[in-house]
Chain A
């Protein structure tokens, strides 16, 4: 553990906390412009958060501790993810604590707390959202782990810093079929995990289509603010993870002098990914829930091909 790594990790967490709502605002703004609307500006999610943080949270009739604890646990897991994943630096003191499997597990833990809270409300909406979210989570899992397989098999470690450093030392690896296929597979996973189109529509409140929004329907005030914030942070961390795994250039090690460059590189990479994702979302519609498994099966095949090619083409 070095002072540089510690400071960089703290900076990384603060950056994700401050930047995540802006990123969501950016994606909404891109979408609005492409649809011919003026849009609310990229700072709108921050204004929403500020407003919600001043409102009282509610305890709906019949809910218990699962409902009350879920927002805190969700934001807690998101903050830990922001500290573990190498976004600005590969020298995070938390890197040996959680490898890629543990990261996937912590991500799932956040989703599970929210699903349990949704079931705790005892409403049809909550149950529906929880049931759908769990179905998607179960089907996403094989893709993630097989993609992890293809990334970590040659490195000999599943720790994120080791994988990212190995890619930095051998840049051609990024262009290998294994890496490209794994990137495509993980992109689908990120879309599914963060509830973006075509798996879930973050802008809808129609009971037939919603997943994530159905789970958080009963939340208000500070609770809702925490959940919205945590969701934005999860999106940012996952896009950042994707960038660090497949385009790791610019990321800092232990030295503090490389941090400004790392910051700039991170902002550029994540902005590009977000703008790209926002643009694509304009042109596609939400899939029917029971067509989503087909999409996920496709991404699973990509991941499996990634492993196969990493062995047979190596």
Chain B
């Protein structure tokens, strides 16, 4: 057993300890002890992942642990990348959770706290599974434990229960799809371990079927359209540290699964598979960010942004697959590297944004952007940290999201000389999707930061907000530093990234090189986030000095009233809200969003021409949910009601059902045998 083995064993041990501790410790000590154990699980995962990325490999068989198939665990650089990302997120979110759950606020109950370490260890271990049965057991353990955590606050808000239903059903639809796909695969391959699957020779039809089935499953976990409907509900309604784990760690497993099965096991050399992946990714990216751009619930906005980012990741995966299938390994490696790096960057900024949103929720009691505002003065550290995360999510330099989107765009743009007509049509459209997504993301996060944290408070509870506790701030600070590090020194990840990509595609390529300046293999483009920051800072300091020199002493600021057109000071209600900020975009994308707008005009009693009051209400429902799921739910309900007619309580009728059923079965058997 090497470092990876010991750390994974340690993670399991700490998780067990956490569960026991949650059940026996007092309510006061519980969040600290359980949070500590969960953070330990995360740190162990991070260490195991880093070990794998530095070139160590680990393989273990534990036949006694699970009946029939036994447990097989293996960690290679690809698993290591995901184990490390997930471990880091879990560790920080758990520490944040200590502060969040304390003082009787949030999920400090015995049951919830006991599930937390289980969820953490399942998350960390899923990428380490090396056989179909181990993978499925861990996957389901992760799904069930996360479901329990999502519904932790179901007594407080009714929306939580609804989110739980949606999540429970869709995650199991996905699970069944993965189960079917992998079981068919294992049956055809004649063995359940990933080594058997890799060596199997399947007919193209079976391979295609397996790929489509696992794609459905992994897309539902990553929250891609049209299987995304659970995500904005569950991620918004879960307690904030859990939201961070779901949105920054769990969705990544959908990506991992598709890379593992699609590239590594199935070999990935069929173009139409990846064109589907690319199309789903593109649609999800656009749909997710459009919904986020018009959202007014802060956590829902962040959840839709997760849909967007997972869409971008799948778009990159699709592009990598297309390049792989058209035999351009350098581009495939670059696109895959962009994908993996975006998974990491997204995990960093999304965990930061969700924890910051959690702090806002704790301090103000509301997630509604239309009621927030003015937090800059009341929660200065949280505001700065949210701004760091928002910069990453908006994919602007020098945010960390910019680096991975830059890599993705480089791989898409340089596809023309290599590919055929399909690439020539698909890649420009993919670039346009990435660009529009990036533009809308900028608008979305300007809204989240500008409306939520700047300006003046829009409601009384917000005016009384206080900065969050040191534990929470420390956890967010670590995430913020991580985002800054990822943004400024992405080249440091080059070797690890190349190893992980090499495991997936089978051909090791040195994708990202360089120190301060980022250089790519086979493409002449260069960029340096660090030097951009330095240059902008130098320019800012120089211009400040210039102004001081020219203007001299007049640069001292004078307090002034806001411009009010001479009509008295503008009130708080005159500020732009999130709804009004998103209104132009909502009008531009009217056909996609289809908002329901009710304007209720009450005239004065004396005259119809004088207005007493005007009420305006806007609701933007999820169109996919409305058009796809409502009919399914209605059909299921009607079928259920028909079933009630069949069972009216008469014993004679039930006996008749039994009689005719058995006779029918015997007849069928008599005919076919």
| Chain A residues close to B by CB (< 8 Å) | 53-62, 64-66, 68, 72-73, 75-77, 79-80, 83, 94, 96-99, 101-102, 105-106, 108-109, 112, 115-116, 118-128, 130-132, 134-135, 137-142, 144-146, 148-149, 152-159, 162, 217-218, 220-222, 226, 289-290, 293, 300, 304, 307-308, 310-312
Cβ-defined partner of B561 (8 Å) among A61, A83, A99: A61
Nearest 9 pairs between A and B by C-beta? A127-B576, A119-B450, A141-B439, A138-B439, A122-B455, A157-B524, A76-B540, A145-B435, A134-B443
Contact across chains for A115 and B532 when beta carbons are under 8 A apart: no
Interface centre among A97, A120, A148 (most CB of B within 10 A): A97
Which of B489-497, B505-513, B579-587, B650-658 lies at the interface?
B579-587
Given that A130-B576, A222-B555 are contacting pairs, would A109 and B540 also be in contact in the complex, using a CB cutoff of 8 Å? no
30 contacts between A and B (CB under 8 A): A53-B547, A57-B557, A59-B559, A60-B560, A60-B562, A76-B543, A96-B528, A98-B535, A101-B406, A101-B409, A102-B532, A108-B396, A115-B450, A119-B455, A122-B456, A127-B451, A130-B446, A134-B443, A134-B447, A137-B439, A138-B442, A145-B435, A149-B412, A157-B524, A159-B526, A222-B547, A222-B554, A222-B555, A289-B584, A307-B416
Tell me the chain B residues, 38-78 only, with Cβ under 8 Å from chain A: none
Tell me the chain B residues, 443-461 only, with Cβ under 8 Å from chain A: 443, 446-447, 449-451, 454-456
List 14 extra interface pairs beyond A61-B562, A96-B526, A101-B406, CB under 8 A: A54-B551, A59-B557, A61-B561, A80-B539, A97-B517, A120-B450, A130-B446, A134-B446, A135-B585, A138-B442, A145-B434, A149-B428, A220-B560, A307-B428
Task: Give chain A residues whose Cβ lies under 8 Å from the Cβ of B572.
Answer: 122
Given that A77-B536, A122-B454 are contacting pairs, would A146 and B580 also be in contact in the complex, using a CB cutoff of 8 Å? no
- Nearest CB on A from B444, distance (A): 9
Q: In the docked arrangement, what's the CA distance between A141 and B405, Å? A: 14
Interface centre among B434, B440, B582 (most CB of A within 10 A): B440
CB of B402 within 8 Å of the partner chain: yes
CB of B634 within 8 Å of the partner chain: no
Task: Give chain A residues whose Cβ lies under 8 Å from the Cβ of B554.
Answer: 54-56, 221-222
Q: In the docked arrangement, what's the CA distance between A193 and B158, Å? A: 46
Task: Give chain A residues whose Cβ lies under 8 Å from the Cβ of B220.
Answer: none
Q: In the docked arrangement, what's the CA distance between A80 and B559, Å? A: 31
Task: Give chain A residues whose Cβ lies under 8 Å from the Cβ of B481.
Answer: none
Q: In the docked arrangement, what's the CA distance between A62 and B374, Å? A: 9
What is the number of residues of chain B that contact chain A, defined by CB distance less than 8 Å?
87
Tell me the chain B residues, 380-402 only, with Cβ under 8 Å from chain A: 394-397, 402
Task: Give chain B residues whose Cβ lies under 8 Å from the Cβ of A217.
Answer: 563
Q: In the docked arrangement, what's the CA distance between A198 and B455, Å? A: 31
Task: Give chain B residues whose Cβ lies under 8 Å from the Cβ of A125.
Answer: 563
Task: Give chain B residues whose Cβ lies under 8 Å from the Cβ of A77.
Answer: 536, 539
Contact across chains for A124 and B584 when beta carbons are under 8 A apart: no
Task: Give chain B residues whose Cβ lies under 8 Å from the Cβ of A145.
Answer: 409, 431-432, 434-435
Q: In the docked arrangement, what's the CA distance between A55 and B554, Å? A: 6
Q: In the docked arrangement, what's the CA distance between A97 and B314, Å? A: 28
Residue on B nearest A78 in the bound complex, by CB: B539
CB of B436 within 8 Å of the partner chain: yes
Interface centre among B413, B436, B523 (most CB of A within 10 A): B413
- Nearest CB on B from A77, distance (A): 6
Task: Give chain B residues whose Cβ lies under 8 Å from the Cβ of A108.
Answer: 396, 442
Tell me the chain B residues, 168-214 only, with Cβ under 8 Å from chain A: none
Contact across chains for A58 and B575 when beta carbons are under 8 A apart: no
CB of B438 within 8 Å of the partner chain: yes
| Chain B residues close to A by CB (< 8 Å) | 293, 373-374, 376-377, 394-397, 402, 406, 409-410, 412-414, 416-417, 424-425, 427-429, 431-436, 438-440, 442-443, 446-447, 449-451, 454-456, 517, 523-528, 531-532, 535-537, 539-540, 542-544, 547, 550-551, 554-563, 569-570, 572, 574-577, 580-585, 587-588
Contact across chains for B580 and A131 when beta carbons are under 8 A apart: yes
Contact across chains for A98 and B527 when beta carbons are under 8 A apart: yes
Q: In the docked arrangement, what's the CA distance between A54 and B549, Å? A: 11
Contact across chains for B557 and A99 when beta carbons are under 8 A apart: no
Contact across chains for A153 and B523 when beta carbons are under 8 A apart: no
Q: In the docked arrangement, what's the CA distance between A135 and B586, Å? A: 10
Task: Give chain B residues whose Cβ lies under 8 Å from the Cβ of A73.
Answer: 536, 540
Q: In the docked arrangement, what's the CA distance between A153 and B450, Å? A: 37
Task: Give chain B residues whose Cβ lies under 8 Å from the Cβ of A155.
Answer: 524
Contact across chains for B450 and A130 when beta carbons are under 8 A apart: yes
Task: Give chain A residues whose Cβ lies under 8 Å from the Cβ of B455.
Answer: 62, 119-122
Contact across chains for A138 and B587 when beta carbons are under 8 A apart: no
Task: Give chain B residues whose Cβ lies under 8 Å from the Cβ of A142.
Answer: 431-433, 435-436, 439
Q: In the docked arrangement, what's the CA distance between A79 and B540, Å? A: 9
Contact across chains for A126 and B446 when beta carbons are under 8 A apart: no
Task: Give chain B residues whose Cβ lies under 8 Å from the Cβ of A130.
Answer: 446, 450, 576, 581
Cβ-defined partner of A304 (8 Å) among B432, B523, B532, B570: B432
Given that A53-B550, A122-B575, A149-B428 are contacting pairs, would A80 and B536 also be in contact in the complex, using a CB cutoff of 8 Å? yes
Contact across chains for B584 and A310 when beta carbons are under 8 A apart: no
Contact across chains for A131 and B539 when beta carbons are under 8 A apart: no
- Nearest CB on A from B413, distance (A): 5
Q: In the docked arrangement, what's the CA distance between A59 and B441, Å? A: 30
Interface centre among B376, B410, B455, B531 (most CB of A within 10 A): B455
Residue on B nearest A72 in the bound complex, by CB: B540
Given that A62-B455, A158-B410, A226-B547 are contacting pairs, would A116 and B442 also be in contact in the complex, using a CB cutoff of 8 Å? no
Task: Give chain A residues whose Cβ lies under 8 Å from the Cβ of B532.
Answer: 80, 97-98, 102, 106
Contact across chains for A58 and B559 when beta carbons are under 8 A apart: yes
Contact across chains for B449 and A116 when beta carbons are under 8 A apart: yes
Task: Give chain A residues whose Cβ lies under 8 Å from the Cβ of B542.
Answer: 79
Task: Give chain B residues whose Cβ lies under 8 Å from the Cβ of A102.
Answer: 397, 406, 527, 532
Task: Give chain B residues whose Cβ lies under 8 Å from the Cβ of A312.
Answer: 424
Interface centre among B377, B402, B558, B584 (most CB of A within 10 A): B584
- Nearest CB on B from A7, distance (A): 17
Task: Give chain A residues whose Cβ lies under 8 Å from the Cβ of B424.
Answer: 307-308, 311-312
Given that A217-B563, A221-B554 are contacting pairs, would A311 and B416 also be in contact in the complex, using a CB cutoff of 8 Å? yes
Contact across chains for A141 and B436 when beta carbons are under 8 A apart: yes
Task: Give chain A residues whose Cβ lies under 8 Å from the Cβ of B535.
Answer: 80, 83, 94, 97-98
Contact across chains for B442 and A112 when beta carbons are under 8 A apart: yes
Cβ-defined partner of B523 (8 Å) among A141, A146, A156, A310: A156
Cβ-defined partner of A146 (8 Å) among B416, B432, B540, B555: B432
Q: In the docked arrangement, what's the CA distance between A291 and B429, Å? A: 23
Given that A116-B446, A119-B576, A131-B583 are contacting pairs, would A105 and B402 also be in contact in the complex, using a CB cutoff of 8 Å? yes
Task: Give chain A residues whose Cβ lies under 8 Å from the Cβ of B396.
Answer: 105, 108-109, 112
Interface centre among A79, A158, A308, A310 (most CB of B within 10 A): A158
Q: In the docked arrangement, what's the CA distance between A135 and B410, Å? A: 25
Contact across chains for A131 and B551 when beta carbons are under 8 A apart: no
Given that A99-B527, A115-B450, A123-B570 are contacting pairs, would A65 and B376 also be in contact in the complex, using a CB cutoff of 8 Å? yes
Residue on A nearest B522 in the bound complex, by CB: A156
- Nearest CB on B from A301, distance (A): 11
Q: In the docked arrangement, what's the CA distance between A308 and B414, Å? A: 14
Residue on A nearest B436 in the bound complex, by CB: A142
Task: Give chain A residues whose Cβ lies under 8 Å from the Cβ of B413.
Answer: 148-149, 152-153, 158
Task: Give chain B residues whose Cβ lies under 8 Å from the Cβ of A120.
Answer: 376, 450, 454-455
Task: Give chain B residues whose Cβ lies under 8 Å from the Cβ of A116.
Answer: 446, 449-450, 454
Task: Give chain A residues whose Cβ lies under 8 Å from the Cβ of B526.
Answer: 96-97, 99, 159
Given that A116-B449, A122-B454 are contacting pairs, would A140 and B561 also be in contact in the complex, using a CB cutoff of 8 Å? no
Cβ-defined partner of B576 (8 Å) among A131, A153, A226: A131
Q: In the docked arrangement, what's the CA distance between A182 and B277, Å? A: 29
- Nearest CB on A from B606, distance (A): 31
Cβ-defined partner of B551 (8 Å) among A53, A59, A220: A53
- Nearest CB on B from A185, distance (A): 12
Q: In the docked arrangement, what's the CA distance between A5 and B447, Å? A: 41
Q: In the docked arrangement, what's the CA distance between A293 and B424, Å? A: 26
- Nearest CB on A from B579, distance (A): 10
Task: Give chain B residues whose Cβ lies under 8 Å from the Cβ of A139.
Answer: 436, 439, 588
